[in-house]
Amino acid sequence: MTFDPRDRLRDGARTPGVGADAHHVATPGKRTLTEQLARESLHGTNTEAGQLERPVAGPSVVYRVQTTIAGQGTPDTQHSQGHAPAGDGADLAANSTVAPGGAPVVGTGANDCVPSTASAGLVWSVVEAGANWRPEVTALQLVGRIRINPWPSNPTSMTVPNTPNPVVGGNINNTAGSPNRWQAAIDDMANYDTPGGGAGPNWHSTAASTAHEWAHWNGDYIGDAVSSAAGGNWSAVNARIDALTVPKTAHADPAAARRALEPLVDAEMTRWRAATIARWNALIAGTDKPGSGGRGYAAGAAVLATHITAIRAFKTAQGW
């Protein structure tokens, strides 16, 4: 199977440049979408020649992912086994700014996050504006890929790599020289967000990896690269697109107006894509290293801090 994020746009009502199906367009400022696992590289052939990622062995896993983005607040993403609710299809107010929607495909086999801004889909319709026609943006559908590899978890086995389970009969001990000694586990996790740290080698957790990757998507991508003034500045782009006009005297109907507006809309989107990608690349190259202040490592470290606290409490309770 070859995965092209644009296929999902072509298959559904979120076709770039085509009016939106109201069922799929959620309330402004709130988007929901369910996605199915796919594992292929989003870069396609735009990677180093002959170095595309290897297929991942193992059973297929399907995740349901719901990304909810409310206004300018922090996007909240939840995982569940069920279906995310469909959008309510409420009408958009004239000239309203829509929040970015869409969600990454989520899979396993590695720990990474790659947006595909080139494949983001814009949905807009043509509306009357006095003597003119203008575009009305109704959705921006973002696509990308997140992969989260389950970290080994053997809660009752004194082995590594492992996820800490600091309970009696768990996998933390006080044996000098053991990689399962409480201090060794703490040290390994405590250096996660320090230079040369990272996940493991012995102690980590899937929850930390999950927090890390979603911080990339929700914080670095949607919150910053897509939306901030330092990046794509989506709300400003949305407003500029909505402000484009062509005269009714030169374009008799919406279809004709759309043909005239399309290159203008495309030009705005081209600039948005370039600015979004440039910001993302600057963020990842500049901050996505342990100890470099990145959002991903901060989010993962916050989860690991809870493990460390639990180990310390266990150690104290055991009198170690």
DSSP assignment of 84-136, as one string? PPPP--PPPPTTPPPPEEE--EEE-SS-EEEE-GGG-EEEEEEEEETTEEEEE
The whole-angstrom distance between residue 165's C-alpha and the CA centroid of its chain comes to 29
Q: Which of residues 255-284 bind another protein (CB under 8 A)?
A: 274, 277-278, 280-281, 284
For the bound state, the minimum distance from the C-beta of residue 224 to another protein, rounded and expressed in Å, comes to 12
**CB atoms closer than 10 angstroms to residue 247:** 12
Q: Which of 2, 46, 81, 249 binds another protein (CB under 8 A)?
A: 46
Query: Is 52 or 243 the residue whose CB approaches another protein more closely?
Result: 52
Select 28 or 200, whichever has its Cβ closest to another protein.
200
Q: Which is nearer to another protein, 21 or 112 (CB)?
A: 112
Nearer to another protein among residue 136 and residue 288 (C-beta):
288
From the list 39, 288, 304, 307, which residue makes contact with another protein (rule: CB under 8 A)?
288
Return the number of the residue (145 or 251) whose C-beta is nearest another protein: 145
Binding to another protein (CB under 8 A) within 178-207 occurs at: 191-192, 195-201
Size of the site for another protein (CB under 8 A): 46
CB of 35 to another protein, least distance (A): 18
Q: Does 80 bind another protein (CB under 8 A)?
A: no
CA distances from 25 to 85, 99, 141, 238 (A): 12, 11, 10, 16
CB of 4 to another protein, least distance (A): 14
Q: Of 212, 240, 258, 307, which lies in the binding site for another protein, with binding defined by CB under 8 A?
A: 212
Q: How far is the CB of 245 from another protein (least distance, A)?
A: 30
Site for another protein in 218-257 (CB under 8 A): 220
Q: How far is the CB of 288 from another protein (least distance, A)?
A: 5
Q: How many residues does the chain have?
A: 320
Q: CB of residue 69 vs another protein: minimum separation in angstroms?
A: 19
The residues facing 66 across adjacent strands are 78
Whether 122 and 19 have beta carbons less than 8 Å apart is answered as no
Cβ–Cβ < 8 Å for 165, 171: yes
- The answer to whether 43 contacts another protein (rule: CB under 8 A) is yes
How far is Cα 264 from Cα 248, in angstroms, rounded to an integer? Answer: 16
- CA 316, distance to chain mean position in Å, is 39
Specify the residue for token string 């389950």. Answer: 150
Least separation in angstroms between CB 77 and another protein: 16
Give the HSE-up count for residue 153: Cα atoms under 13 Å, Cβ half-sphere: 12
* Contacts of residue 192, Cβ cutoff 8 Å, sequence gap at least 6: 198, 199, 204, 208, 290, 297, 300, 301, 304
Min dist CB 308 to another protein, Å, is 16
Residue reference for tokens 């292929």: 40
Nearer to another protein (CB atom), residue 65 or residue 114: 114
What's the rounded Cα separation, in Å, for the pair 112 and 215? 11
Site string for another protein, 101-140 (x = CB under 8 A): ---------xxxxxxxxx----------------------
Between helices 295-318 and 206-214, what is the axis angle to 10°? 160
One of 1, 2, 11, 51 touching another protein (CB under 8 A): 51
Chain residues that interact with another protein, rule: CB under 8 A? 41-43, 46-48, 51-54, 110-118, 191-192, 195-201, 209, 212-213, 216, 220, 274, 277-278, 280-281, 284-285, 288-290, 296-297, 300
